[in-house]
Structure 1
Amino acid sequence: MAKLPGLKLGLPNPELILTSVNLVIATTVILCGIAVFRIWLHPLAAFPGPKIWAVSRLPWIRYMLRGRMWRKIERLHQEYGTVVRIAPAELSFNSPAAWTDIYISKPLMPKEPSSQTPPLNGAHSLFTAVGDDHRRLRGILANGFSDKALREQAPIIDNHATGLISRLRREIKSASPIVDIQKFLGYAALDTISDLSYGESMEGLPERNEHGWIARFFLHGRFSTVRMCLCAFSPLDKVLDFFVLSLTRRQRTKNWAVFSAKIERRLAKGDMTGQRSDLISPVVGKVTPDHEIDASAKMKAKGITSSELLSHTLASIVANSQLTTVALTTTIYLLLRNPKTLKSLTAEIRHFFTQDSQINVHSTNSLKYLDAVVNESMRLRHPTPISLPRVVPPSGRVIDGTFIPGNTIVGVNLHVISTSPLYWVEGHEFHPERFLKPEDERYEKRFEKDVKAAYMPFSTGPRNCIGGNFIVLWTNSPPSSRLFLAETRVTLAKLLWNFELVLEDPVDEWLDRAAYIVYEPTALKVKLIDQQNGEVVKERENVGE
């Protein structure tokens, strides 16, 4: 047989084979050594958990990318106890004492860096700022979330809740009585927070408008989750940042232009005392344009820069609209799957109000069963079923009576601690009665065994959610109504006063969905029967009998 020109036949180079074999052996030895060290010799070796999770962060990444980490962490705590090793250098805690030891005890433990998505414009928001910058930003923004501020902001919240009812009536008259209630709750939540943040809404509720802002905001959760996972293999996270930023540059430029113009228009109106109060009111006159910042002179020490304001307001409307949308939709689902609770809540609302115009932020403060329903919904399915990671200082820290080595990542998972049978009677069932005061005739004594200190729906300490610091109903705190609870109360009250709601597709698995920081938005088909038109033959005074 003739040989083809230039083709050399023969065995592979022996030296190349030997080099490859040695490389494989060396890699295997190194990986085995790492595994042996992390399982038996690592400072966290004594803590329980699956061995494969102690060896590598890959199992953690797998569940994060699937959006199933919240469910897996729950099972791990059921199997291994209140402290579980979920990664080579990370522990998950499931105990009320851990709330104080991790998030309040001083010196405060910093947030774990990879859990924070850097601001796209380079200026930190309240969510990502640290140290003095965090204290400065929180100090100037906190006034917008005070009781006094909320009383003044109430007309804006009331207005959008009324707008939701009007929009739903247009939908059932023009299209069908069956609506995806999740979509319209999303429009209402975004219109409310954008009006409070920019002085003008995103116009989702008027007429029969449609937009995709809510869907875009939820995509941010997926991106942040992927980025967080890639941080374990840095610099892949930097590659992702570059890739995403390159692909989205044009859209981001448009977004920044839209939101920058909204802020500028609001700031140009100045102090609007007597006309309106919003989340921008406390910063009017305290915003320093970026080009005037002199870092050496610390001109921003008592104020906020225009870039910081833009970064924070955008982060705030994303977080608030997501949380409120998911929380309200989940509450409605739970009510519709529990007819007895729905009947009791509807009776309370329709007994207390004789007309829709009476329902507002102030008047709904008195609806104790409504408060209990909202709290129970947040407990059973917190919108963000995540852990809140902090980094133990190099010297170590005692958490819940156990010394934790320095540089360990620690956290409490919001879902796990809020449903654990260690702290809750029938923790996976919907019983708003547990959040009523003992003197309430609807309270059930069996819930005395609940450990309410486990329930921190907005975290705790100096870095808790600034917009969710509302009254904890089982304490002797004075009546208070913060932004989230105010918006949730008035929206639910108006919905149940104006409509009969019927679950169109009672899917049992609706609650068991993926979560990428926030639960994925899931359509909830509900039939609305307008009470205004008398379509349900039932006297209001007989409801609840």
Structure 2
Amino acid sequence: MRYELLGVASASAGVLSHLLYFIHGHKAMQAPRTFVFYLMAECLLFVRCFYLQGAFQGTLSATTISLSYFLGLFTSIAVYRLFFHRLRRFPGPLAAKLTKFYGPYKARGGKSHIHFVELFEKYGDVVRTAPNELIVLSTDAQQKVFGVGTRCSKENTSYESVAYKGFQNLEAATNREEHRKRRQIWDKAFSTKALESYETYARETVYEWLGKLASLQGQPVNTSLYSLLIPFENMGRMGFSINFGSIQKGKEDIMLHYLEETLGMIAKLGTMWWPIALINAIGGSGDHIEFEKLACRMVDQREKQADDENEDIMKYILQDHHSKVPKGFHHHDLLYADAQVIMVAGTDTIGATLSFAFYHLARDPALRQKLLTELEPLYGRTLTGEFSNHDLSDADAPYLNAIINETMRLDNPTCSNGGRLTPPEGLEVDGIFIPGEVVVYTPTHAIQRSAKYFKDPNSFIPERWTTRPDLIIDKRAYLPFSCGSHSCVGKKVAILVLRMILAYTVWYYDFEFAPGEDGLAIHRDAIDASILKPGKLECVFSQRT
């Protein structure tokens, strides 16, 4: 009877812990404190029971108290999430309604982007994927959650776990005013004048790529690898005025390894971010720490030069930081934080798109010929013996840009977008009311492959952006760079780099799948590692005569 009463009392305490504390607000970022509290409480409990009752009886009592308490706590949580939570009426997998562990479970194979598509097909356009999270297949949701004037925020989402020594980078910044001030500096770094210099860097990188192809003399080329090395090399120049030499080496730089491991770790957690808070509390993961150190070294190396010595992104960030009254970069650690944004956004996102673009071109000789025909009058039009970004614009090179658009529609590098927290008063999407204080995701991959918005959505048809606009049901569904104040700041640079690489490659080389290559692995082995990582694709390049 004694142990029964002890168990009931402990279970009641667990229920009260949930009703009085855990049920109120978002607790993910408090995980380190919660863990320490319970660890200390358990230690004190067992020590106290041992002291009063001896080893055997003390262990029995302490175990009874602990198990009963946590049984009461988690039972209360489960009952609330299933029957009383504000999202209880939204459909979704039972496990997702009960626990956020459903996220990492489904993300374990790196196919989260495909899993979201399957969930929409099974449950409809609004699906509960975690106790307090929804995924929504809707252009209306995209505009209301991410668009200009949105009242949704990044607070209490996974972005709060992304920081360098407490300073959030531009992408993760949750404070609107802080983000606005820093975004102004970044916008200067992508002005028309700056883009002219970046075009020169892109052309230099392209010629390194062409030189590498010439040296390989028709050997099979892992285009997925080089599609990553090319923008990585370009990022070094545009971001920090650094030449890595990675294209010539033909292998991943250690920085790429650290970058991929960092993003991969986040992706494996699904949308569960309290483990990140725990990891950060003990100093972070080894690979991420090394990635941060490399970013810091790149900033330090660039800072040894005069701020305006080179035209690169860091020039504008340093100028603001070194000014008498900095607008956005008032602390030196903010430079280190945003340097990591340059490395991520300037490499993996472009690399994924480029890899899939090579795939589509390699499998279809008619596509390459049509693009080559379009490029003929543009070669040397502005610059003798060269292509220029101006001449490769939508107006002058519609098919080239259509290929890029269709590639990013089918296999967008950022498959899922970041989550946003709905305002306290809630949000209405397509006539459906979404309660306040709920994290909402609008998965880009699922939306851009939805039959609601595109006819024949899973087919690669560049003409839908040129002569076949009837294949687009709702153009608002195409948001590869997101929208609103948090849209991709480097969009113009990304398009510039993709245009130059594809134009020069097709102009100087014809290419196709290597012997024995069927092209299936690029999609089959693709992994949603925060940014889509394509599978391997080998092609053979033949120089045009």
Where do residues 301-380 of structure 1 align in structure 2 (5 Å cutoff)? 301=327, 303-350=329-376, 352-353=378-379, 357-365=385-393, 366-380=396-410
Relative distance call for 1:490 and 1:250 in structure 2 (3 A) is closer
1:529 aligns with 2:542: yes
- Secondary structure at the residue paired with 1:186? helix
1:261 aligns with 2:271: no
Where do residues 94-113 of structure 1 align in structure 2 (5 Å cutoff)? 94-104=137-147, 106=149, 108-113=151-156
Q: CA deviation at 1:246?
A: 6.9
Q: Say whether the 8 Å CA contact 2:117–2:446 is kept in structure 1.
A: yes
Q: Provide, for residues 22-66 of structure 1, a one-character-per-residue CA deviation record: whole Å limited to 9, x for no partner.
A: 976776565454334322322111212222211222222212233
1:193 aligns with 2:235: yes
Q: 2-side partners of 1:169 and 1:244: how far apart?
A: 45
Q: 2-side partners of 1:253 and 1:509: how far apart?
A: 32
Q: 2-side partners of 1:244 and 1:16: how far apart?
A: 34
Count of residues in Structure 1 that have an aligned counterpart in Structure 2: 482
| Equivalent of 2:169 in 121, 125, 131 | 125
Q: 2-side partners of 1:70 and 1:428: how far apart?
A: 14
Q: CA deviation at 1:409?
A: 0.5
| Equivalent of 1:412 in 418, 436, 442 | 442
Relative distance call for 1:433 and 1:354 in structure 2 (3 A) is same
Q: Say whether the 8 Å CA contact 1:190–1:201 is kept in structure 2.
A: no
Residue equivalent to 1:454:
477
- Secondary structure at the residue paired with 2:266? helix
Q: Provide, for residues 115-160 of structure 1, a one-character-per-residue CA deviation record: whole Å limited to 9, x for no partner.
A: 2243334433211222222111111121111334313432122221
Q: 1-side partners of 2:332 and 2:63: how far apart?
A: 57
Q: 2-side partners of 1:119 and 1:111: how far apart?
A: 13
Q: Say whether the 8 Å CA contact 2:144–2:150 is kept in structure 1.
A: no
Residue equivalent to 1:479:
none
Residue equivalent to 1:219:
261
Which amino acid counterpart does residue 541 of structure 2 have in structure 1? L
1:444 aligns with 2:468: yes
1:286 aligns with 2:313: no
Residue equivalent to 2:279:
240
Residue equivalent to 2:17:
none
Relative distance call for 1:520 and 1:349 in structure 2 (3 A) is same
Q: CA deviation at 1:321?
A: 0.4
Which amino acid counterpart does residue 363 of structure 1 have in structure 2? D
Q: 1-side partners of 2:348 and 2:292: how far apart?
A: 22
1:467 aligns with 2:495: no
Q: CA deviation at 1:17?
A: 7.4
Residue equivalent to 2:20:
none
Q: 2-side partners of 1:168 and 1:239: how far apart?
A: 46
Relative distance call for 1:237 and 1:213 in structure 2 (3 A) is closer
Where do residues 35-74 of structure 1 align in structure 2 (5 Å cutoff)? 35-74=78-117
Which amino acid counterpart does residue 95 of structure 1 have in structure 2? S
Q: CA deviation at 1:399?
A: 2.9
Q: 1-side partners of 2:210 and 2:60: how far apart?
A: 74
Residue equivalent to 2:532:
519
Q: Say whether the 8 Å CA contact 2:101–2:272 is kept in structure 1.
A: no
- Secondary structure at the residue paired with 2:484? coil
- Secondary structure at the residue paired with 1:529? strand
- Cα RMSD, aligned residues only: 3.0
Q: Say whether the 8 Å CA contact 1:64–1:229 is kept in structure 2.
A: no
Q: 1-side partners of 2:289 and 2:328: how far apart?
A: 34
- Secondary structure at the residue paired with 1:280? helix
Q: 2-side partners of 1:56 and 1:461: how far apart?
A: 31
Relative distance call for 1:350 and 1:123 in structure 2 (3 A) is same
Residue equivalent to 2:118:
75
Residue equivalent to 2:518:
506
Q: Provide, for residues 274-326 of structure 1, a one-character-per-residue CA deviation record: whole Å limited to 9, x for no partner.
A: xx63323434532239xx9xxxxxx5445544322232123212222011111
- Secondary structure at the residue paired with 1:66? coil
Q: Percent identity?
A: 21
Q: CA deviation at 1:514?
A: 1.8
Residue equivalent to 2:204:
159
Q: 2-side partners of 1:128 and 1:82: how far apart?
A: 27
Q: 1-side partners of 2:344 and 2:71: how far apart?
A: 45
Q: Provide, for residues 318-366 of structure 1, a one-character-per-residue CA deviation record: whole Å limited to 9, x for no partner.
A: 2220111111001111222334323322332245437993223232222
Q: Is the deviation greater in 134-143 or in 201-210?
A: 201-210
Q: Is the deviation greater in 54-63 or in 337-346?
A: 337-346
Q: CA deviation at 1:101?
A: 0.9
Q: CA deviation at 1:519?
A: 1.8
Relative distance call for 1:319 and 1:91 in structure 2 (3 A) is same
Residue equivalent to 1:144:
189
Relative distance call for 1:422 and 1:509 in structure 2 (3 A) is farther
Residue equivalent to 1:400:
430
Which amino acid counterpart does residue 123 of structure 1 have in structure 2? F
Which amino acid counterpart does residue 157 of structure 1 have in structure 2? A
Residue equivalent to 1:473:
none
Q: CA deviation at 1:509?
A: 4.2
Which amino acid counterpart does residue 263 of structure 1 have in structure 2? R
Q: 2-side partners of 1:167 and 1:90: how far apart?
A: 47
Q: Provide, for residues 375-428 of structure 1, a one-character-per-residue CA deviation record: whole Å limited to 9, x for no partner.
A: 000000001211320011223222333222121001210101000111110101
Residue equivalent to 1:4:
none
- Secondary structure at the residue paired with 2:221? strand
Relative distance call for 1:60 and 1:181 in structure 2 (3 A) is same
Residue equivalent to 1:542:
none
Q: CA deviation at 1:237?
A: 3.1
Q: Provide, for residues 519-543 of structure 1, a one-character-per-residue CA deviation record: whole Å limited to 9, x for no partner.
A: 2353321111111xx3xxxxxxxxx
Q: 1-side partners of 2:150 and 2:224: how far apart?
A: 42
Q: CA deviation at 1:492?
A: 0.3
Residue equivalent to 2:308:
271
Q: Provide, for residues 458-507 of structure 1, a one-character-per-residue CA deviation record: whole Å limited to 9, x for no partner.
A: 11111111111xxxxxxxxxxxxx11111100100111111111112123
Relative distance call for 1:304 and 1:375 in structure 2 (3 A) is farther
Q: 2-side partners of 1:307 and 1:27: how far apart?
A: 41
Q: 1-side partners of 2:148 and 2:292: how far apart?
A: 41
Q: 2-side partners of 1:47 and 1:311: how far apart?
A: 38
Q: 2-side partners of 1:286 and 1:33: how far apart?
A: 52
